[in-house]
A and B are shown apart, each in its own frame.
Chain A
Amino acid sequence: MAVTTQLTWMQEKSLQNCLGGKQFTLLYKASVHGFSSENLLEKCSNQGPTVTVIYGEDYVIGAYMQGSYYRDNKASVTFFAFQRTEISEFEIRIFNTRTDNNKIKERRFGSGEIYYGYHDLQINLNDRNVTMDRTTSKKFALHKSHISFQECEVFRCEDSLDKRRIEDVTLLRKSLFSDMRTYNPCGGLVHQTRILLLGPSGAGKSSFINSVKSVFRGHVTNQAVVDFGTKQFRTYSIKDGETGNSLQFVLCDSMGLGEKKEGLCTDDIFYILKGHVPDRYQFNSIKPITSSHLNYIDSPWLKDRIHCVVFVLDVNSVENLSHEMVAKIKRAQRDVIKCGVVHMALLTHVDDLHLIMKADLINPYGCMPVKLKLEEVHRKLGFPLSNILVVSNYTSEWELNLIKDVLILSTLRQILWAADDFLEDVPAEETFGGSEA
């Protein structure tokens, strides 16, 4: 039998969150290692903080101990319980035992019970039952003080963002930084790669630009106006705070797509892609730019064109996109495809997803809620799964943080790679006059 937990992903995650961002390592599983307290202690003593989970018929209850099994006789214990239901929703009840006598004792005589607290709770593994005093059962919202169980598991608890993790992520950020600083558009055809952000208003296009700027500047900045909604076509060059040089890519902000007639005029998208629209062009929802416009770029070069398009969506809104919005996005996708440009999706606010912890942002693509969102976007809008990226923008913070930085930088790297794929494939006759160098 395999040593794997019975907890569902949701249950495990909720518990980890309740205990303040922990990660679990399963050390002991009674049905595999034997229902005896000796066996439990063989595997679990001296492992640091642990969580013991008891699976009753209707309830899952457990105890979190800050000290090691066996060694620290006095350790603070936190009890928790959740109702076992088929669906993922359940209520976790959590409480501390009386602080004066938090003891874990193991009595090796007789059947070998393990005591938590004074007499708050005792587990008898041989008989597969738990006995607790009345206050405890009351707090657990159980009607009995004696319950039998089928399984018992013990996990070691570690901080999900421990020193080792932080050090490694710091290194990762360093290498991403140097990748971005030395980034050159593929083939030297253009001096700077141009990335266009499209998407519903309020999805986080300007916030993403601000976030990228912030990461390179070294502090949070809000240069791209977020609050009032973008009405201009703006191209933002990013300065490296350390060297003062401009990086070799430009992020282009556009007016948000609206449900009906408001928002970006979809005909403008083609002109932006082809490079006809100048910086600071004031959008008009009703009619697209014409060649008679004062700053209209008549014969744009490759450097004026868009090399990769990113559709920005709020991760929390993907289920609620209206038909009109879906149709608009699909139409825009078609325009982008016609121009031969790679299009990607960028889901923002990924940190707001239920059960996502800060540490999960190191590799968000492995998390269940993120996977579900990616599939939804894939189904609804047809983006290939590997073209859907996630990010968590700097929206309300004052200070930068390492993990957000890394996610922003690695997302940016994927986008620039996609742009390079486009640039590598540009037909020779269109590359003429593209280089400024």
Chain B
Amino acid sequence: MAVVTNLTWNQERSLQKLFGCVSFSLLYKASVHDSSIYTMLQRCTHQGSTITLIYTDENVFGAFILGHYPQMGEEFENPNSSFFFLLKSGNKERSEISTFVFNRAPEIIKKKLSFCFHNSEFFFLMPESKRVFIHPQLADKKFKCHGYSTYLDCEVFRVEGIKDDLSYIRRITGVTQRRQRLLAELSTYKPTTCLTPEIRILLLGPIGSGKSTFINSVKSVFQGRIIRQAIAGSDITSITEQYRIYSIKYGEDGISLPFMLCDSMGLDEREGEGLCMDDIFYILEGCIPDRYQFNPRKPITSSHSGFITSPSLKERIHCVAYVLDANSINNLSSQMVKKFKRVQEKVLQCGIGYVVLLTKVNNWDEILQDDFLNMNRSTAYQSQIICVSKKLTIPIPNILMVDNYASEREMKPLKDVVILSVLRQMLRITDDFLEDLPLQ
């Protein structure tokens, strides 16, 4: 019999989604190799992190073990280095894999591979008799299979391409929940002030800094697939030449959320190229209509057919996001900085919110804290943040980092969390400023 997994391709892909971009190598399969615990351990020890999968009649579940497989008679050292997951229960594949983190390292006790939570055994398997035990607390409403049962097959895979560190487990088991919580919060968001029923956020930044891509990314998160609506690309002059106000739609029914992202032409350090300074001021005041075609050499005038002469507070910009490529902060020219400062002066004068959005940030493992609550500013991008803060005189808490959906064809939960967190922060800052708005 061939050593081939019983996993379907879809199941393998959902596992890959859970673990991040990794590959799995099948090391042991009970039905081919023999089912003694010795053979199993021979093949699985010293292979790095693994998953052990159990197939019963109706269910597929298993455990991930960080670091090496336990050995006989070995004392555990690291707490919290394994978790249980449920891949399939009954006839239905699970779209989101549920997990349960153990807080004691797995052990081999009396020919059993045992996983504990506090002091009770929550999950164990006895390879020799092909039996498995699941604690009732691991079983949820949809997964009724608790107590003892006999399994059909057991497979062990090495998991490659992950970081051997405890925060990894917290991250992958927490990301789904975090994403759902953020999505729930933002999809029911309402501006705290009664002055305006919806929030408009203007994205400003150099050509190619990722303004349109950020809009597509936000739209993608709420739609669940890659959206390419705001036309993005890279060229020496701005791809975006129109002023665009994008509403964000949520879910199948396409309900518009009460915040809008406004896309503008890229800024150019040269005069007479890119977005005009005067146009920016008109945008801030809400005078410029959606789909207005910018002219780098000539700002809009009040005689333009679409010009909004007396915009309401609703039509005005409530927050400006300066979008910058995190990797080219040091190359920011003085002309560009000057342009930003002029806008910022006006922004402060109007009393509206502002943030800096650093795009193209990649190593999230270092930046996002394990609990996703904060960005770790102490690491990789610290120098860039300080540099931006100094150059543009913007306080550090208003500097946010994001990684857009720029090269993906599929959604990634971690990226969703990053984008949603940034968006929430923008909305909070906007609300704070709106509350404090000088009455005019």
Cβ B233 vs Cβ A382 within 8 A? yes
Cβ B233 vs Cβ A168 within 8 A? no
Cβ A43 vs Cβ B43 within 8 A? yes
Q: Which residue of A lies closest to B10 (CB)?
A: A168
Given contacts A342-B231, A382-B235, A417 and B4 within 8 Å (CB-CB): no
* Chain A residue contacts of B241, Cβ below 8 A: 337-338
Cβ B229 vs Cβ A3 within 8 A? no
Assess whether B314 is interfacial by the CB under 8 Å rule: no
Partner of B2 from A48, A169, A385, A422 at Cβ < 8 Å: A48
Cβ B25 vs Cβ A422 within 8 A? no
Assess whether A340 is interfacial by the CB under 8 Å rule: yes
CA distance A167 to B11 in the complex (A): 13
* Chain A residue contacts of B290, Cβ below 8 A: 427
CA distance A382 to B236 in the complex (A): 9
Give, as a whole number of angstroms, the nearest-CB distance from B102 to chain A. Answer: 23
* Chain B residue contacts of A374, Cβ below 8 A: 407
Assess whether B338 is interfacial by the CB under 8 Å rule: no
Partner of B26 from A3, A25, A343, A382 at Cβ < 8 Å: A25
Given contacts A164-B8, A337-B241, A343-B231, A46 and B32 within 8 Å (CB-CB): yes
Assess whether A320 is interfacial by the CB under 8 Å rule: no
* Chain B residue contacts of A294, Cβ below 8 A: none
Partner of B407 from A25, A341, A382, A386 at Cβ < 8 Å: A386
Give, as a whole number of angstroms, the nearest-CB distance from B129 to chain A. Answer: 21
Cβ B407 vs Cβ A337 within 8 A? no
Q: Which residue of B lies closest to A156 (CB)?
A: B3
Cβ A2 vs Cβ B48 within 8 A? yes
* Chain B residue contacts of A262, Cβ below 8 A: none
Assess whether B111 is interfacial by the CB under 8 Å rule: no
Assess whether A128 is interfacial by the CB under 8 Å rule: no
Cβ B235 vs Cβ A32 within 8 A? no
Assess whether A384 is interfacial by the CB under 8 Å rule: yes
At the interface, is chain A mostly helix, strand, loop or mixed? helix
Cβ B406 vs Cβ A386 within 8 A? yes
* Chain B residue contacts of A386, Cβ below 8 A: 226, 228, 405-409
Assess whether B239 is interfacial by the CB under 8 Å rule: yes
Assess whether A27 is interfacial by the CB under 8 Å rule: yes
Assess whether A424 is interfacial by the CB under 8 Å rule: yes
Cβ B229 vs Cβ A421 within 8 A? yes
Cβ B4 vs Cβ A164 within 8 A? yes
Give, as a whole number of angstroms, the nearest-CB distance from A412 to chain B. Answer: 14
* Chain A residue contacts of B239, Cβ below 8 A: 337, 382
Give, as a whole number of angstroms, the nearest-CB distance from B359 to chain A. Answer: 13
Cβ B42 vs Cβ A42 within 8 A? yes
* Chain A residue contacts of B43, Cβ below 8 A: 27, 42-43
Cβ A47 vs Cβ B158 within 8 A? no
* Chain A residue contacts of B32, Cβ below 8 A: 46
Given contacts A168-B8, A168-B9, A384 and B232 within 8 Å (CB-CB): yes
CA distance A43 to B33 in the complex (A): 11
Task: List residues of B (299-327) whose CB comes within 8 Å of A's CBs.
Answer: none
Assess whether A134 is interfacial by the CB under 8 Å rule: no
Cβ A421 vs Cβ B228 within 8 A? yes
Cβ A365 vs Cβ B409 within 8 A? yes
* Chain B residue contacts of A27, Cβ below 8 A: 25, 27, 43
Assess whether B344 is interfacial by the CB under 8 Å rule: no
Contact with A along B277-294 (1 / 0, CB 8 A): 000000000000011000
Assess whether A378 is interfacial by the CB under 8 Å rule: yes
CA distance A385 to B228 in the complex (A): 11
* Chain A residue contacts of B160, Cβ below 8 A: 2-4
Give, as a whole number of angstroms, the nearest-CB distance from A164 to chain B. Answer: 6
Assess whether A162 is interfacial by the CB under 8 Å rule: yes
Contact with B along A334-370 (1 / 0, CB 8 A): 0001101111100000000000000000000100000
CA distance A329 to B226 in the complex (A): 24
Q: Which residue of B lies closest to A5 (CB)?
A: B160
Which one of A3, A167, A172, A418 has the highest number of Cβ atoms from chain B below 10 Å of its Cβ? A3
Assess whether A414 is interfacial by the CB under 8 Å rule: yes
Give, as a whole number of angstroms, the nearest-CB distance from A163 to chain B. Answer: 8
Assess whether A33 is interfacial by the CB under 8 Å rule: yes
Told that A2-B160, A156-B26, A164-B8 touch, could you supply 5 new A-B pairs with CB distance under 8 A? A2-B48, A43-B42, A330-B235, A385-B407, A386-B406
A to B CB contacts below 8 Å, 5 in the list: A2-B160, A342-B228, A342-B231, A385-B407, A386-B408
Query: Which residues of A are in contact with B by a Cβ distance under 8 Å?
Result: 2-4, 25-27, 32-33, 42-43, 46-48, 156, 158, 162, 164-165, 167-169, 171-172, 330, 333, 337-338, 340-344, 365, 374, 378, 382-387, 414, 417-418, 421-422, 424-425, 427
10 residue pairs, one from A and one from B, having the closest CB atoms = A168-B9, A385-B407, A421-B229, A382-B234, A42-B42, A25-B25, A382-B233, A384-B232, A382-B235, A418-B228
